[in-house]
Structure 1
Amino acid sequence: MEIVTRADRPELHEAAAVVFRERWPEFVFHDDVPKRYMGRVEEYFARYDVMVLDGGSVVAGGWGVPMAWDGSADDLPSGYDDALIRAVDGREAGIEPTSLSFMAVAVGASHDRRGMAGVVLEELVRRAWSDGLTHVVAPLRPTWKHRYPMVSMAEYAGWSRPDGLSIDPWIRTHQRMGAWVLCPALRSMVIEGTVAEWESWADMVFPVTREYVVPGALNLVLIDRERDRGVYVEENLWVQHR
Structure 2
Amino acid sequence: MEIVTRVDRPDLDEIAAEVFRERWPEFIFHDDVPKKYLSRVEEHFGGYDIVVLDGGAVVAGGWGVPLAWNGSVDDLPSGYDDAMVRAVEGHEAGTAPTALSFMAAAVSSAHDRRGLATVVLAELTRRAREAGLAHVIAPLRPTWKHRYPLVKMADYAGWTRADGLSVDPWIRTHQRMGARVLGPAPRSMVIEGTVAEWESWADMLFPVTGDYVVPDALNLVSIDRERDRGVYVEENLWVQHG
TM-score category of the 2 structures, normalised to the smaller one: over 0.9
CA shift for structure 1 position 21: 0.4
Q: Distance in 2 between matches of 1:200 and 1:87?
A: 32
Q: Distance in 2 between matches of 1:65 and 1:99?
A: 8
2:210 aligns with: 210
CA shift for structure 1 position 177: 0.2
CA shift for structure 1 position 31: 0.1
1:172 aligns with: 172
Q: Distance in 1 between matches of 2:191 and 2:57?
A: 32
SS at match of 1:8: coil
1:46 aligns with: 46
Residue 197 (structure 2) pairs with residue 197 (structure 1): yes
Q: Distance in 1 between matches of 2:57 and 2:94?
A: 37
Q: Distance in 1 between matches of 2:241 and 2:154?
A: 19
Alignment of 1:77-156 (within 5 A): 77-156=77-156
Deviations 1:65-100 (A, max 9, x none): 000000000000000000000000000000000000
Amino acid at match of 2:127: R
SS at match of 2:123: helix
TM-score by length of 1: 1.00
Q: Distance in 2 between matches of 1:196 and 1:30?
A: 14
CA shift for structure 1 position 163: 0.1
SS at match of 1:85: helix
Moved over 2 A (4+): none
Gaps of 5+ in 1: none
Q: Distance in 2 between matches of 1:68 and 1:55?
A: 37
SS at match of 2:143: coil
RMSD: 0.3
Amino acid at match of 1:35: K
Q: Distance in 1 between matches of 2:199 and 2:118?
A: 35
Q: Distance in 2 between matches of 1:147 and 1:206?
A: 20
Q: Distance in 1 between matches of 2:37 and 2:54?
A: 30
CA shift for structure 1 position 230: 0.1
1:21 aligns with: 21
Q: Distance in 2 between matches of 1:45 and 1:100?
A: 11
Q: Distance in 2 between matches of 1:32 and 1:225?
A: 21
Deviations 1:184-213 (A, max 9, x none): 000000000000000000000000000000
Sequence identity of aligned pairs in percent? 78
Task: State how many pairs are aligned.
Answer: 242
SS at match of 2:197: helix
1:60 aligns with: 60
SS at match of 1:226: coil
Amino acid at match of 1:212: Y
TM-score by length of 2: 1.00
CA shift for structure 1 position 132: 0.2
Q: Distance in 1 between matches of 2:182 and 2:49?
A: 24
Q: Distance in 1 between matches of 2:112 and 2:129?
A: 27
CA shift for structure 1 position 225: 0.1
SS at match of 2:219: coil
Gaps of 5+ in 2: none
CA shift for structure 1 position 214: 0.2
Q: Distance in 2 between matches of 1:23 and 1:152?
A: 23
CA shift for structure 1 position 117: 0.1
